[in-house]
Structure 1
Amino acid sequence: MTDHYDSIESLLQAIKTNQLSVSDAKAELNQYDELGFAKIDLHRSKRQGFPEVIFGEGKTEKHLIKIIHSLLLHEETVLITRINSEKANTIITKYPQLEYHATANIVCTRLNYIHKTERQTAIICAGTSDLPVAEEAAVTAEVMGISVKRFYDVGVSGIHRLFAHIEDIRACNVSVVVAGMEGALSSVVAGLVDHPVYAVPTSIGYGANLDGVTTLLSMVNSCAPGTSVLNIDNGFGGGYNAAMIINMLEHHSKME
């Protein structure tokens, strides 16, 4: 395996100084790995700061294993979302360097291998029924190197539970608020903190919840500024966006 180079110029310098062969340089310039059924984006981490994420739902075990092999061959961090326990167990047996988070439905690089930021994101969950989405957000952020603080079962029907943690939430740099039903929790949190809030509606609720549509519309219509709304049950998007903000803060602080 070759090292990853930050630019074409550094790649050319490596060839010039005999640190890299021409054949290895050609492999480094290859932007994707052609698997026939998939094209693995090998330059995603260079463009966006994190490798391609695998959406596990609908993919066969055979396809998943080949995709993982490609990512590991190129020394990429692995994150697979929406994967059931049967597929996960097959993958972990073949790749014991990965781990399965059952509540989040995620297989990923072991979290203890990943260095975490000092800055933190708060993952705030209204109720226990929302935990799979909240954990998808939390584990996604952790795989991306973010320190996470979890605040679960703090919905507005017992709002004193939220207030018991509000100072710890305020100390974080981003909040991801996961809620179903009427989705009021995101507006409450956004009105109490001075950092960005990502609201993630879930499909949890009774009939008029309309599988999360009511929650989505409620969050979109929030009167609390500083709130951005993700798609229904999109914990991955909430965790990913929070990670991007914190990684940006970390990058700029290192440049100062």
Structure 2
Amino acid sequence: MKEILKSLAEGKISIEECETLLKAENIRQLDEVAQIDTSRKDRTGFPEAILADSKDYEDLLTIIKRFFEKEEANGPIELKNNIIITRLSKERHELLRKDLAYLTEKGIKFDYNKRAKILIIYKDALVNFNPEYAKVGILTAGTSDIAIAEEAKVIVEQGGCEVITSYDIGVAGIHRLFPQIAYMVEEDVCAFIVCAGMEGALPSVVAGLVDVPVIAVPTSVGYGVGADGKAALYSMLQSCAPGLSVVNIDNGFGAGVYALTIAKNIAKRVRMSKE
């Protein structure tokens, strides 16, 4: 990037050429198997993530190895943004740790959340909370929904936002819900992520109790007509609680990014109001 800007300053290239080159610089082609968007966090507030599910293991390994090779081509590895690998099975994680062990000698660290099935590859800090961001509350109806909630939690934290969680407080024992909601409201959360399978009723209940955005995540927990999360999805989509947003089945990642977008924009407006 420095070379591109230097060429612009010296008049060797035009502004239009500079713009084109900078856009190209943001996308790294890795052995024709992937393109890494290295500037996504600068544009959207959240870094690139690699979906491991359905990728051939050798392709996944190549993506990561080539990324670090290109990083080293410019000197010592800095790793400006953490690398996030989602939907990574325990078996594949163990293989990656073995095949990427050489990176630990270069200051690279690994953190694997076995419930969320997310691997974070980082150098300096696993999480870096932004004090300007409000907290996000995450709830689950049942214990079976925790894996998806944990996926959302990791994503929200990687975006710089603190999380408060409360699990297994569904409508079957609704008396457990109210103290947790009250606590999160007292902590001034800017959004709720609510994960539920079966009939998917919990997000509607929460949305009827709070005055902040509620993001509903249907999970593939259930049987019969509730199999694969479809009953929960349909219930959430036709909720009578106004303002409820719904993501796809088991999409903890999408819910996390959405909550981060809310936190980031609230912080931006507060900052602008003080200027």
SS at match of 1:178: strand
> Gaps (5+ residues) in structure 1?
17-24
- 2:263 aligns to what? 246
Instruction: State how far apart, in whole Å, the 1-side matches of 2:143 and 2:219 are.
Output: 12
Check whether the contact 2:213–2:243 (CA below 8 A) recurs between aligned residues.
Answer: yes
Aligned mate of 1:203, from 220, 225, 232? 220
> What is the distance in 2 between the residues matched to 1:138 and 1:41?
23
Taking a change above 3 Å as real, the CA distance of residues 195 and 71 of structure 1, as seen in their structure-2 partners, is farther
Q: Hey, what does 2:75 align to over in structure 1? A: none
User: Aligned-pair distance for 1:38?
Assistant: 1.2
Aligned match of 2:172: 157
Q: Which of 99, 122, 127 pairs up with 1:114?
A: 127
Cα contact 2:33–2:63 (8 A) shared by 1: no
Task: Report the CA distance between 1:12 and its aligned residue.
Answer: 6.0
2:201 pairs with 1:188: no
Query: Of the candidates 42, 45, 60, which is equivalent to residue 64 of structure 1?
Result: 60
- After TM superposition, the structure 1 = structure 2 runs for residues 210-249 of structure 1, keeping only pairs within 5 Å, are 210-249=227-266
Give the conservation status (yes or no) of the 8 Å contact 1:140–1:236: yes
Match of 2:117 among 97, 101, 105: 105
Q: TM-score, normalised by structure 2?
A: 0.79
- Are the structure 2 counterparts of residues 157 and 13 from structure 1 closer, same or farther at C-alpha, using a change threshold of 3 Å? farther
Identity within the alignment, % = 41
How far apart, in 2, do the equivalents of 1:69 and 1:155 lie? 43
Shift of 1:200: 0.2
Q: Distance in 2 between matches of 1:38 and 1:175?
A: 34
Secondary structure of 2:241's partner?
Answer: coil
Give the equivalent residue in structure 1 for 2:29: 34
Q: Report which stretch shifted further, 177-186 or 65-74.
A: 65-74
Asked if structure 1 preserves the Cα contact closer than 8 Å seen for 2:217 and 2:252, the reply is: yes
Aligned partner of residue 113 in structure 1, secondary structure? coil
Amino acid in the other structure paired with 2:209 = L
> Any idea what SS the aligned residue of 2:46 has?
coil
Specify the alignment match of 1:43 in structure 2: 39
Computed over aligned residues only, the root mean square deviation of the Cα atoms, in angstroms, reads 2.6
Cα separation, 2, equivalents of 1:29 and 1:203? 39
Given that residues 71 and 78 in structure 1 are in contact (C-alpha distance below 8 angstroms), is that contact kept between their aligned partners in structure 2? no
- In 2, Cα distance between the equivalents of 1:113 and 1:210? 36
Give the TM-score normalised by the residue count of structure 1. Answer: 0.85
Q: Distance in 2 between matches of 1:169 and 1:71?
A: 39
Moved more, 177-186 or 82-91: 82-91
Contact 2:221 2:227 in 1 (8 A): no
Secondary structure at the aligned position of 1:164 is classed as helix
Task: Classify the secondary structure of the residue corresponding to 1:130.
Answer: helix
Rg (Cα) greater in structure: 2
- In the TM superposition, residue 15 of structure 1 has moved relative to its aligned partner by 4.9
Q: Which amino acid aligns with 1:238?
A: A
TM-aligned CA distance change 1:217 to 1:27, over 3 Å? closer
The Cα shift of 1:205 comes to 0.9
Which consecutive residues of structure 2, in runs of 5 or more, have no partner in the other structure?
A: 11-19, 72-78
- Counterpart position of 2:138: 123
How many angstroms does 1:225 deviate by? 1.3
